[in-house]
Structure 1
Amino acid sequence: MSEQAVEYAKTFGKSFTYSEDDIKDLEEILDFYSKDLKGNLLKNLLRKMTKTMPTENQIYSMSLIWGSYLGQLLKKYVNPKLCWVEEEVFGDGKIIHLKDEEVRFFPIDKVYKRIMNGSEDNIISFYEVLKRDF
């Protein structure tokens, strides 16, 4: 999935190379998605009328792609022992996340929140906190 992010980034004029600098570009891309999703009154009205609002599945698919890339950066620069797992965590069914013994990171969920909530869920600060604390 992270390779899809590398390809999709090109459509935004970004070149992802699995470097820490990519975090800023990823944040810009997610900001675009978030603002586009929120739109404005007229845009949202047209989307509803033409039934072109993104579905929950489409938003999750984008979160999976971009979150996978974020996760690969976390593995590379924060904790190389992290592994992708799909397991029950919160009692709501299995979710894909990163795990090292008892430490768990949820980059896909973080990207989803960033898209849905806007800049209050900035991934740059998320990444910096994880890098500092883990």
Structure 2
Amino acid sequence: MTQFTVNDMMIAYSEDAIELASKMGLKLDYSEESLETVNEILERYHQGIPKGIKKLFSKGPSEEQILQMSKVWGGYLGEVIRRNLGGDWEMSKNFNNAISLVVSSTEVYPPAKVNKRILNGKEDDISFYYKVLKQQYSG
């Protein structure tokens, strides 16, 4: 049986993200600019989570569904980072069961960032996150 690495899994998730975007009529190409499109997609997920009184009457995505989407879109975000700034996917040495991307010997957590974006909305913008990382690691 073939042993899949974290790297293999996250690349597969990023390909799933491209396929999902395509089904929405959107094109992703691992460019920095494509993160704006991903932000729009994540905003749709964020808007789909019932808030306030709506929580009582409508059922949004389950915690498991949100975690799965965080892996898929986090895989894509991480691949944009990896392909443009470098890095390697690994299981975190700092947090149990966390997937990290090691960039210049520092762990970053694209799936966790996407999870925050889905739950918190625009305040956790992934394009801004990428730009901060780019300044840190390409200077």
Q: Which bracket does the TM-score occupy, shorter chain normalised?
A: 0.7 to 0.9
Matched residue of 1:37: which SS? coil
Q: What secondary structure is seen at the aligned counterpart in 1 of 2:27?
A: coil
Where does residue 88 of structure 2 map in the other structure?
83
Quote the offset at 1:39 in angstroms. 5.5
**Does the 8 Å contact 1:19/1:73 carry over to 2?**
yes
Residues 1:64 and 2:99 aligned together: no
Gaps in structure 1 of 5+ consecutive residues: none
In the alignment of these two chains, the number of paired residues is 125
- Asked if the contact 1:31/1:118 (under 8 Å) is kept, the reply is yes
Listed as ranges, the matches of 1:15-94 within 5 Å are 15-38=27-50, 41-42=53-54, 44-47=55-58, 52-78=59-85, 80=86, 82-90=87-95, 93-94=96-97
CA contact (8 A) 2:48 2:61 kept: no
Quote the RMSD (CA, aligned, Å).
Answer: 1.7
Helix, strand or coil at the partner of 2:92: strand
Q: Secondary structure at the match of 1:38?
A: coil
Match of 1:98 among 96, 101, 110: 101
Q: Does 1:108 align with 2:111?
A: yes
TM-score (norm 1): 0.84
Distance 1:7 1:40, change over 3 A: farther
In the superposition, the TM-score normalised over structure 2's length comes to: 0.82
Measure, in 2, the Cα distance between the counterparts of 1:76 and 1:113: 23
Percent of paired sites with the same residue:
35
Structure 1 residue ranges (4+ consecutive) displaced by more than 6 angstroms after TM superposition: none
* Residue 120 (structure 2) aligns with: 117
CA distance in 2, matches of 1:32, 1:53: 12
Distance 2:49 2:37 in 1: 18
Gaps of 5+ in 2: 1-12
Matched, 1:2 2:14: yes
Letter in 2 for 1:126: Y
Following TM superposition, by how much is the alpha carbon of 1:133 offset from its aligned partner in structure 2, in angstroms?
A: 1.3
Q: 1:18 to 1:100 in 2, by over 3 A?
A: closer
